[in-house]
Each structure stands twice: as structure tokens, then as C-alpha cells.
């Protein structure tokens, strides 16, 4: 197995600051915007961005987490391993708001499609934007494109992109893993 480190340490933090700055430029005081992290790994990105925005602007952005387990298209597939649900915590109104969905890696687009289905249970957003830390841009099965991107990675289906967060993995890093044959 070959590992290629794509990003870590100070560069990882710079990328988070850049993404926060882009949100500030597009959403101003966030009075009409909310951030929702997709369970499980998009929640770390959401927490870090909310923190960065608060440090830069002193504005507390309404933020929540969304579980998509029961909206996945493979939820009831024959032979699939049982999925464990996470929690959803959205304690604000999204009707008429700009919703910024966050996830760590965009690959096939199926997770985002599921998240857009799930978010409808909470109201009708004025607009939904997508922010991802890593965009694996040549692997889409569904025509979904992010509005905000940390880095783009050109990879093949047999490769994996692993995002590590210091909150749970002891370090911030993005690694591309290639299985040796």
C-alpha cells in the first residue's frame, strides 16, 4: 500500500482559513445562512469552519449536523451490511435560508444526493451550496459539483482519500492511498 500525503499541518489550517474566508465573502453576516455538516466526517469540517468564522468576524453561524443513513440509495440493498445511524441535530429553521452543506470528501455524489433529500424534511431552503474538503472530481455517478473546494484530487476508483482530523485522529491530514498489486 502506497500513501501520498496531499496536505497536513500548517497547510491544512491555511486551507480551512481560506474556505472560511470564502464563506464570509459570499454570506456576509450569515443572517440568512446556516451550516450543516453531513455525518459523520463532515461534522468536523463544520465545527472547524464555524470556529474560524467566529474568530474572523465574531459572528456565530447557526450550525447543525445531518444524518443521511435512511436516505441512502443503498440502505435496503440485498446483502449490504446493516448501517448504523448517527444523530441529526438541526435546531433552527431552514425555510428561506441559504444552507451550506459540508462534507469531507466528494466522490460519487451519492452522499450529497442523500443529504439533499434529507434536508427537505427540515423545510425549503432558499438555496443549497456545497463545500467539500476534497473533490475527487473524475469519479461522479451523479451530476453534483461543489461550490467551495479545499483541494481537488485526480484519482482512480481503486484509490482512497483519507481525511484525518486532530479531534479524533490526532492530526490534520489528507492522504491518498493506492493499493499495490
The CA-based angle 45-91-146, given to 5 degrees, is 35
What is the distance between the alpha carbons of residues 163 and 41, in angstroms, rounded to a whole number?
8
At a CB cut-off of 8 Å and minimum separation 6, what does 85 contact?
Answer: 67, 69, 70
pTM above 0.75, yes or no: yes
What is the distance between the alpha carbons of residues 173 and 161, in angstroms, rounded to a whole number?
10
Are β-strands 160-164 and 173-178 bridged in parallel, bridged antiparallel, or unpaired?
Answer: antiparallel
The residues spanned by each domain of the chain are: 2-21+31-74+86-178
pLDDT by residue for the chain (181 residues), tens digit each? Answer: 899 999 999 999 999 999 999 999 999 999 999 999 999 999 999 999 999 999 999 999 999 999 998 888 776 555 555 566 788 999 999 999 999 999 999 999 999 999 999 999 999 999 999 999 999 988 899 999 999 999 999 988 889 999 999 999 999 999 999 987 6
pLDDT at residue 80, as a whole number: 53
Are β-strands 2-8 and 173-178 bridged in parallel, bridged antiparallel, or unpaired?
Answer: antiparallel
- Give helix 42-57 / helix 9-27 axis angle, nearest 10°: 70
Q: What topology does CATH give the domain 2-21+31-74+86-178?
A: Rossmann fold (3.40.50)
pLDDT at residue 104, as a whole number: 97
Amino acid at each position: 500500500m502506497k500513501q501520498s500525503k496531499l496536505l497536513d499541518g500548517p497547510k491544512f489550517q491555511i486551507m480551512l482559513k481560506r474556505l472560511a474566508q470564502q464563506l464570509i465573502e459570499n454570506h456576509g453576516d450569515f443572517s440568512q445562512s446556516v451550516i450543516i455538516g453531513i455525518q459523520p466526517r463532515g461534522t468536523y469540517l463544520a465545527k472547524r469552519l464555524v470556529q474560524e468564522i467566529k474568530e474572523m468576524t465574531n459572528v456565530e453561524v447557526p450550525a447543525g449536523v445531518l444524518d443521511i443513513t435512511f436516505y441512502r440509495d443503498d440502505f435496503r440493498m440485498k446483502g449490504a451490511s446493516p448501517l448504523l445511524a448517527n444523530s441529526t441535530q438541526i435546531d433552527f429553521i431552514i425555510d428561506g435560508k441559504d444552507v451550506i452543506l459540508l462534507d469531507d470528501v466528494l466522490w460519487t455524489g451519492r452522499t450529497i444526493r442523500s443529504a439533499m433529500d434529507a434536508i427537505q424534511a427540515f423545510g425549503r431552503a432558499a438555496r443549497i451550496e456545497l463545500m467539500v474538503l476534497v473533490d475527487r472530481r473524475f469519479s461522479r455517478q451523479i451530476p453534483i459539483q461543489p461550490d467551495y473546494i479545499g483541494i481537488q484530487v485526480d484519482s482512480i476508483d481503486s484509490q482512497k482519500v483519507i481525511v484525518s482530523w486532530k479531534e479524533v485522529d490526532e492530526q490534520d491530514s489528507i492522504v491518498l492511498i493506492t493499493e499495490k498489486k
